[in-house]
Structure 1
Amino acid sequence: MGEYADLPGVRTWYETEGTGDPLVLLHGGFCTNDTWGAQRADLAVAYRVFLPERRAHGHTADVPGPLTYQDMADDTVAFLEAVVEEPAHLVGWSDGGVVALLVARDRPDLVRKVVAIGANFRPGPECFAEPSMLDEMTPSGPDLAFFRELYEPVAPDGPDHWPVVAAKVLDMWRTQPTLTPEDLARIEARTLVMSGDDDLMTLEHTTALYRAIPDAELAVVPGASHLVPLEKPGLVNRLILDHLAQEPAETMMPIRRAKPGTAAS
């Protein structure tokens, strides 16, 4: 069962599970905490897992005005301060990954490590493997039917509000985020950038994200899509747990991570 936290930006629904250091799971766009079903039990063995549902998602109401990643990041900062009450690991998937990156950039004091799965730092038309899909998605169309079925039974605004939320999310995907490599260079947390090898984002974009974050590692999961946490949960969970628990191993032939003044031979 979950409960509400009265945050400055929006009254936010969240759930908790497990014990240990805090870990916040940030779901994808249009999603609810149900989409973390393949991760939460494994992660809760080692961590105190917090699962907030962001504004206009799941049990958390919509608010007037457009939906922005920055507002959702600010909500997450408020959640960390008011509910978690200490720095936490952030594991974000898709839109949740974008939010995790923004929080890590803005409030490094609240972030331990980051896992960003299927995340992007530029708007959909610049990074989607098939940008035309944005024009094909409509609130009542088949492409969003799965998400509509997640939304309608639990949304405090009622099922009739779905077209409003769908339009807001699609507009956000078309125009946001607008981060630069310089923005990403401000992220201090050790970050695992993860994607499927057939992800919604191009591999070139994912690689650019990895290269722009100073202390980043990259995992491209073979035979997987943007839904890699559902498709390869065992592998994804091991990668997350290893990243959060272990310090980086010293590699034998570092190039990107070579110390200044040394050269590969």
Structure 2
Amino acid sequence: MADAMADATAEVLAPRATPVHVMGWSDGAIVRLHLALRRPELVRSLVFGGATFHHTGWLDGALDGEPPGFMRDAYTAVSPDGVQHWPVVVQKAQALHRREPDLSVEDLRGVALPALIVVGDEEQVRWPHLIEMLQALPDGKLAVIPRATHGAIVEKPALLAQLIREFHREDRDNGVVPIRRRT
């Protein structure tokens, strides 16, 4: 499913003359990661927020139960099927999350562009999974937003925007005592 969505995104981006910065949150992050893997010539950098690269990276129970009400309300506001279709959407999403994403550490090693992993400190992803992702990405960085959950994108939008701006700064350096980014 993420491959098909990445291909659809690629169709939109392909006519552009230059690669673009892409950002995705939760399922959107997984789609953007697939885009970076499938069509790296279209992607300049990746911001990957609140997601896993493999479905086993979610904490136990993280995907159980009903999603927050604001998601239902947002869906209802734009869906021609209305609120009565929401349970179908939830059921399909839960089935999808049991089998996807299914990328490997070796797949991540093929992402040859700057990548920023962003999560809340109360994210629903296993910490070892995030560290594994950080270590596998050749040019990976990790940002943890304090006092934020899987909803960090709506809980702390200003801080998230600041982190992304810093990540994209052309004049950024590698810090005073770099370990992973030694020049």
Confirm or deny a common fold (TM above 0.5).
yes
Aligned to 1:219: 143
Cα deviation 1:67-110 (Å, max 9, x = unaligned):
x211111111112125x564211011111111111111111100
Distance 2:72 2:157 in 1: 24
In the TM superposition, residue 150 of structure 1 has moved relative to its aligned partner by 1.3
In the TM superposition, residue 155 of structure 1 has moved relative to its aligned partner by 1.2
In the TM superposition, residue 148 of structure 1 has moved relative to its aligned partner by 1.8
Query: Does the alignment pair 1:96 with 2:28?
Result: yes
Query: Does the alignment pair 1:127 with 2:57?
Result: yes
Aligned to 1:190: 114
RMSD of aligned alpha carbons: 2.0
Matched letter for residue 245 of structure 1: R
**Equivalent position SS for 2:125:** coil
How high is the sequence identity, in percent, across the aligned residues?
A: 37
In the TM superposition, residue 222 of structure 1 has moved relative to its aligned partner by 1.5
Larger Rg: 1
Query: Does the alignment pair 1:208 with 2:140?
Result: no
Distance 2:136 2:172 in 1: 18
TM-score (norm 2): 0.89
Aligned to 2:43: 111
In the TM superposition, residue 243 of structure 1 has moved relative to its aligned partner by 1.2
Q: Is the 8 A contact 1:197 1:203 kept in 2?
A: no
In the TM superposition, residue 251 of structure 1 has moved relative to its aligned partner by 3.0
Sort the Cα spacing of 1:71 and 1:252 in 2 relative to 1 into closer, same or farther, 3 A: same
Aligned to 1:72: 5
Matched letter for residue 226 of structure 1: H
Distance 2:12 2:51 in 1: 21
Tell me, which stretches of 5 or more residues in structure 1 are unaligned? 1-67, 260-265
Q: Is the 8 A contact 2:24 2:30 kept in 1?
A: yes
> After the TM superposition, which of the residue ranges 186-195 and 160-169 deviates more from structure 2?
160-169
In the TM superposition, residue 250 of structure 1 has moved relative to its aligned partner by 2.8
Aligned to 1:232: 156
Instruction: Considering fraction of residues, name the structure with more helix.
Output: 2
Total equivalences in the alignment:
183
TM-score (norm 1): 0.63
